[in-house]
Amino acid sequence: MPAEIERKFLVKGDAWRSLATGIAYSQGYIVSTEGRTVRVRVVGEQGYLTIKGATSGITRAEFEYPIPVDDALEMQHTLCDPPLIQKKRHKIEYAGLVWEVDEFEGENQGLIVAEVELEDVKQTIALPDWIDREVSDDPRYFNANLVKHPFSEWVKEL
């Protein structure tokens, strides 16, 4: 079974900005319940349908399929719960791994999160100096939860 092993961190400062150009992403959730999500994403001229299982630590089942962009856009506008997640993703190579820095827009503006996918849950990683604290275990930072409870609603608590 395909699995996603991912660690998630907050980002500090602006040093990362000069390392990559961002690409616009929009994504919505057809299903978002405890234990499973069905996501529709548009990246450029490509659509994706992604099904994810329950998170266990930093691992979960993930199945992703390319779909026509017109189908993805139609699903986002007719089947997904609002609001859509809008973000720019910057891919940055560091110490042999690709870090994905997501700069959120809209109701989640101000949130910048870096994710890194791993081969093994025990894999050690070198952290770039623009990485702040780890939030892998904090469900508030899951994209599916940012639809239900946008960053703008809870940022004052941080």
Q: Give the distance from CA 87 to its chain's centroid.
A: 9
On whether the CB atoms of residues 56 and 3 are closer than 8 A, the answer is no
Instruction: Single out the residue of 137, 98, 139 nearest to residue 119, CA to CA.
Output: 98
Bridge partners for 116 per DSSP:
7, 99
Q: At residue 101, what is the residue type?
A: V
Q: Rounded to whole angstroms, how far apart are CA atoms 90 and 98?
A: 10
Among left, alpha and beta (phi > 0; psi -120 to 50; other), residue 11 is beta
Active-site residue, selected from the candidate residues 25, 29, 94, 141: 29
Instruction: Single out the residue of 148, 25, 31, 144 nearest to residue 79, CA to CA.
Output: 31
> 66-82 burial, b if ≥16 CB within 10 A, otherwise e?
eeeeeebeebbeeebee
29 tagged catalytic: yes
Residues designated as active site: 29
